[in-house]
Amino acid sequence: MAAIGDMFYTWAADADVLKKGECGGAITALQQYALKSGMVDAVLAVRKGADLYDAVPTVITNPAEIAETAGSLHCGTLLLSKLVKDYLDNNKTAKLGVTVKGCDTMGLIELAKRNAVDMDRLLLLGVNCGGSVSPVLARKMIREKFEVDPDQVHKEEIDKGQFIIEYEGGHKGIKIDDLEDEGYGRRSNCRRCLYKVPRQADLACGNWGVIGEKAGNATFVEVCSGKGAKLLDAAAKAGAVATEPANPKGIEIRGKVEGAMLNLGNKWRKKNFEALASDLWGTIARETGRCIKCYSCIENCPVCFPVAGELKGNSRMVVSGEVPPNPMFHLRRFAHISDSCINCGQCEELCPMDIPLALFSHAVRTEGDTAFEPKLGKAPYTN
Ligand code: FAD
Ligand code: SF4
Ligand code: SF4
Ligand code: SF4
């Protein structure tokens, strides 16, 4: 019987899923089993759209279709928490299995704190996450730094500190540190992210720590909840996945890699926040002076939904039709989101004027976390 804190190497029993999966297809096989066995009524996962820069969230109710979502897409910068909320709102008693990154999990926890989602109806299969790359920057980086036509690339991965591409005629890898020194690489919010192993999910799955003959063909699964233990046990018993205890050396390596990633995240926080603090209000005024008031930052924030209407019309401090808006437009948004900003980067990513919005709200929220409870992304939530 698996228990919270147990660690396994896990892989799909089905040969096709094993092959299609990023690291042995454990997540795909577990999602398939959860759906087939009735543990969930639907699965929300991500599949490749037009190309590998196009990550498309998909709700699936037919277990046979889940294999289409196997594989990791690092150049699709999407957030799933609002989609989960919409699904639960529209399917009143249904249970949903979701593959989540750390930021997706955090978004859900923040929504749960606002009584906007019921965590009991969710089965969360978490993926470790070293970071994701904006699709636009990924194409530019592949063209300029890798000197490869981005449309010729059929596979990308992040492994051992490198961004690696496979394309017709070869493969190339470049160190992420070198890419980031030159303004490429992971999104700036991902560099500051400290949610590398999503232990708030039911299972935390990743490739860190898988060594020996299983490297590349199995996923390292950490059991994080009773629900996660139940799923893993039942799927193994039914023959959907195979498991073996994680190699102790692999556990040690995984711990070291996670520690190194957290140090790196803290280094980026220090660098970004100190630069901002030297002229906080000047920077905010200068940057938001480009705002065209398109509301994308509000509409795409995974945890901010009630304020959108309020900021759209005339209100006490915001004048309808004024572009760029009065700085109060932004200050009200920051004030509204500062208790829940999970640094997911969506507002910044989808701002047509490239305003570093996530940096501003993340800096405020991080400062708040030093003084107030509950800490960001942590229970208690009330439902
Ligand atoms: P599969 O059976 O192939 O299933 C993969 C699941 O991930 C599917 O459900 C798919 O829909 C979903 N998915 C794909 N792309 C996304 C996305 N962008 N957002 C949400 N869900 C998605 N592991 C590490 O140990 N270290 C890392 O640094 C690391 N970084 C990652 C970064 C990203 C953006 C992603 C998506 C995964 C990362 N992983 C990392 C996890 C690793 O790549 C594998 O997903 C994990 O080991 C499970 O492998 P699998 O074969 O069981 O997954
Ligand atoms: Fe991954 Fe964190 Fe970036 Fe989300 S914010 S994509 S969890 S690194
Ligand atoms: Fe302004 Fe950018 Fe927000 Fe649009 S997304 S309202 S341009 S800050
Ligand atoms: Fe994500 Fe921006 Fe909303 Fe923060 S304010 S949660 S970074 S979209």
Ligand 3 center to 88 CA (angstroms): 29
Q: What percent of the chain has pLDDT over 90?
A: 78
Q: From CA 288, how far away is CA 284, in angstroms rounded?
A: 6
pLDDT confidence of residue 383 = 36
The CA-atom distances, in angstroms, between 155 and each of 28, 57, 165 are 18, 19, 6
Closest CA to 162 of 145, 149, 148: 145
Complete DSSP assignment for 67-86: GGG-S--TT-----HHHHHH
Ligand 3 centre distance from Cα of residue 297 (Å): 6
**Mean pLDDT, to the nearest integer, of 275-298?**
92
Helix (H, G, I), strand (E, B) or coil at 374: coil
102 lines ligand 2 (CB under 6 A): yes
Give me the mean pLDDT over the 207-221 stretch.
Answer: 96
For residue 131 and ligand 2, the question of a CB distance below 6 A is answered with: yes
Residue 334 pLDDT grade (very low, low, confident, very high; cuts 50, 70, 90): confident
Q: Closest by alpha carbon to 100, among 216, 200, 246?
A: 200
Which atom of ligand 1 lies closest to the CA of 69? 11
pTM: 0.94
Give the start-end residues of each E strand in the chain.
7-12, 42-48, 55-60, 96-100, 122-127, 153-159, 162-167, 170-175, 203-206, 219-223, 241-245
Which of 10-24, 97-111, 296-310, 349-363 is predicted least confidently? 296-310
Closest-lying ligand 1 atom to the alpha carbon of residue 76: 18
Residue of higher predicted confidence among 359 and 307: 359
Find the helix packing angle between 248-277 and 357-369, rounded to 10°.
110
> How far apart (Å, rounded) are the C-alpha atoms in residues 35 and 116?
24
- Quick check: CB of 191 below 6 Å from ligand 2? no
Residue 274: CB atoms within 10 Å:
10
pLDDT in tens, 125-184: 999 999 999 999 999 999 999 999 999 999 998 888 899 999 988 999 999 999 999 999
Q: How far is ligand 2, taken at its centre, from the CA of residue 342, in Å?
A: 10
